[in-house]
Chain A
Amino acid sequence: MSLSSTPSPCPDGAAYACGVVAHAVVESTLAGLAALREVSGPVAGRDIPARFLRYADEQTVVGLTAVLRAMERFGGEVPCLDEWGVLAAPRFPGRIGGAAAQVKYRQGGPSTISPHVIPQCSLHSLSSAISIALAMRGPNLGVGGGPEALAEGFAAAAGFLGCGMVPGLWLVLTGWDPEAAPDGHGSITNEAVCRGVALALAPGNRPTDPLRWTISPWGDGGSDPPGQPDDAAPAASLTALAQWLAADADPARAGPWSCGLPWGGRIELTRRAEQPAYGLPSLGLLKAA
């Protein structure tokens, strides 16, 4: 896949827009993640290896599950994924496993560090796991990793989609709400929910796309000075997006969802006025526990 093999669909500095082919939201408590880790075998047309998520970070578990839910829900609408990319934007990934590893290191030294910590707790871990599980050979990368991960994820997605490098990509946004407070032994000391949002993004404007996504990189389209970011806390942004996505049929949430970018500009998601009927309409939000 090359980066600029097709002409750019965006004029200089302008907004980028594309369709959202499929989407889903998954949320779970830490206790509920145990069940989600057991996924294996044929799921949404893909053969997930046994025990694939055994050592995975919690955000990898909800992120992959969200992609699988979206594929189940919109299976007929998602095109061939083999060449798609994966762009995953977790917020503070690896915190629980990293805290436990640090405590072990202090108590027992270098030999106590699991060989799974680096591959499973890094910023790329979520995107790589999805790429492997779904046998997608387009590029995979992690984005963000901190409080602004959601905005960074959308901005990076526009960069890689806009140049024709990939026919489509999964943008997967994850995080804890509130932020998880690890106890150093693999658990957490607060009541937090781990949430994952999966959006299948594809260039173009198809009538079957349930959502349309627009990102204005700069003010309202190219020459405005930098704006101010939204006041909303990072966790609130992801939560608000998840709630908006999960409420497909709620007339009260028929309006767009939008979020400011830290350097100015905005992200906006809008629903199609007339939604096609999907096979499994209630799987948008899975409460695992």
Chain B
Amino acid sequence: MTRVWITGVGAVTPLGHEFAVFADNLLAGRSGVAAETISGDGQGAPQFVARVRDIPVPPTFQPGMFQTRDRLEQLVLSCAGRALADAGLLDARSSRRIGLVLGLGAEHLRLWEMDFLAGGTRVFDPGLDMPSLVHRVHRDLALAGPATAVAAACASGAFALALARRWVQEGWAELCLAGSADLVTPMAYAGFRNLRALSRRDDSPAAASRPFDRDRDGFVMGEGGAVFVLEPEHLARRRGARPYGELAGFGASSDASHMVIPSSDPEPACRAIQGALEDAGIDPGGVDYVNAHAAGTPVGDRAESHALRRALGTSVERVPVSSTKSMTGHLLSGAAAIEALACLVALDRQAVPPTINLDHPDPECALCHVPHQARPHRVRVAASNSFGFGGSNTCLVLKAA
């Protein structure tokens, strides 16, 4: 089976928009969470969120034209255009069959909401419907390969990368752009708040996201995204491309249990992790780092810990596990892509990012934690878990190329 390398990265994150800046901040244990007012009218009490600012204009756009696009579109265009440029493929994009797969969980709900808050009527008037974002970006970047959006809530980005890898392996696309993105909007914030999924801490923004900690009480919303260039190894070698890593494995399963609450049975999530390792040809003992989904919810972190213990077996005692959501917040549909990026950082810097705010590890989450500070570590294989509403369990395996 064709090996698929990641040869380009474009990211917009609460910890910076360039790979090196993101890596520096991640390994320094910096929090991207701040107190902000997020209601549509700018009124109301500040909330703790990890937002992005100053979305970089991609190289194919004039700044004025870029600013006319809605914010989610700006986010995706910035990530995709800069990923192509990073891979050295910007000028060659029209002559190659480049595909596009985006993880977007609620694109139209976000679009309708932002339009409505600005006085628009798109949600009521189908005559104003536009092509989906993935097809607008496909057109703007003059791509010629297949394109689609996929969604599995917070696991959307993992499915996007998996499908793109598959299209590259099958020859449906010579190369494929793949990633995911999401925004914090007032209604999304209210919806998660009313689900009681968000942390209610109000003391310190940087301390609110506390995955695996005994005192965690929910997640902190974040926004941003990342898009990667996926390329067959032989093509990348031929043109001398720099590989960030190999997208080596993917596994997925469903809890088939509840629309919101993760199953207390660790078996389905365990099967997703085992499937990814099997796909990558890796034994549990060959894993050097796990980027956990752990969002900081009492039930979810505990369920994931049990699944990891079952999937990794005795290796769980020595494989470092961290949740970078402690710093980035939970980017929802964008989470899996940002956490794949965190794994590339671990491969590149030979260091494991920390879980900040892990003052008192929950005994129910007994793992080989990396609290507070990054740890130098030989990382050749990293696994990234992403679980989503609707019972979706996914795991990606990334290897040094």
Contact = CB atoms under 8 A, between A and B. Distances in A.
B388 interface: yes
Given A105-B190, A124-B153, A160 B123 contact: no
A8 B1 contact: yes
Interface string A1-26: 11111011011111010000000000
Contacts of A276: none
B388 to A, nearest CB: 7
Interface stretch (B72-80, B199-207, B248-256, B310-318): B248-256
B106 A122 contact: yes
B245 interface: no
Nearest to A102: B116
A222 interface: yes
A115 interface: yes
A115 B123 contact: no
Given A110-B39, A113-B187, A144-B132, A123 B149 contact: yes
A181 B125 contact: yes
Given A128-B391, A139-B253, A147 B129 contact: yes
Contacts of B131: 146-148
A62 interface: no
Interface string A130-149: 01101111111111111110
A263 B390 CA distance: 31
A178 B279 contact: no
Given A117-B187, A128-B392, A140 B254 contact: yes
B123 A129 contact: no
Contacts of A168: none
A261 B138 CA distance: 14
A167 interface: no
Nearest to B152: A141
B389 interface: yes
What is the interface of chain A mostly: helix, strand, loop, or mixed? Answer: loop
Given A3-B250, A122-B151, A142-B152, A132 B146 contact: no
Contacts of B251: 1-3
What is the interface of chain B mostly: helix, strand, loop, or mixed? Answer: mixed
Contacts of B126: 92, 178-181
Contact of B391 (A94, A140, A180): A140
A34 interface: no
B390 A119 contact: yes
Contacts of B162: 3
Contacts of B345: none
Contacts of B166: 3-4, 159-160, 162-163
A131 B254 contact: yes
B167 interface: yes
Contacts of B191: 113-115, 117-118
Interface in A155-182: 155-156, 159-160, 162-163, 165, 178-182
Given A118-B389, A128-B391, A132-B259, A141 B278 contact: no
A220 interface: no
B258 to A, nearest CB: 7
Given A132-B259, A140-B254, A182 B124 contact: yes
A59 interface: no
A217 B279 contact: no
Contact of B149 (A115, A137, A146): A146
B107 interface: yes
B279 A3 contact: yes
A129 B391 CA distance: 10
Contacts of A10: 170
B150 interface: yes
A121 B123 CA distance: 13
B258 A143 contact: no
Nearest to A131: B254
A143 B149 contact: yes
A165 B138 CA distance: 27
Nearest to A2: B279
A120 interface: yes
Contacts of B268: 137
* Most-contacted residue by chain B among A1, A8, A86, A226 (CB, 10 A): A1
B123 to A, nearest CB: 5
Contact of A138 (B135, B147, B195, B254): B254
A141 B393 CA distance: 11
Contacts of A141: 150-152, 156, 159, 392
Contacts of B116: 102, 106
* Most-contacted residue by chain A among B113, B124, B388 (CB, 10 A): B124
A124 B255 CA distance: 14
B165 A3 contact: yes
B394 to A, nearest CB: 8
Nearest to B136: A146
26 contacts: A2-B250, A3-B275, A4-B169, A10-B170, A98-B113, A110-B193, A117-B187, A118-B192, A118-B195, A124-B105, A128-B254, A132-B254, A132-B256, A132-B257, A136-B254, A144-B148, A146-B132, A155-B172, A159-B167, A160-B166, A163-B166, A165-B252, A181-B124, A181-B125, A218-B97, A263-B147
Interface of A: 1-5, 7-8, 10-14, 16, 86, 92-95, 98-99, 101-102, 105-106, 109-111, 113-115, 117-125, 127-129, 131-132, 134-148, 152, 155-156, 159-160, 162-163, 165, 178-184, 189, 217-218, 222, 226, 261-263, 265
Given A94-B106, A181-B126, 11 more contacts: A2-B249, A13-B171, A93-B108, A115-B196, A124-B153, A128-B254, A140-B152, A144-B132, A146-B107, A155-B172, A181-B124
Sorted nearest first, the 5 A-B pairs with minimum C-beta distance are: A128-B390, A146-B132, A13-B171, A2-B279, A179-B126
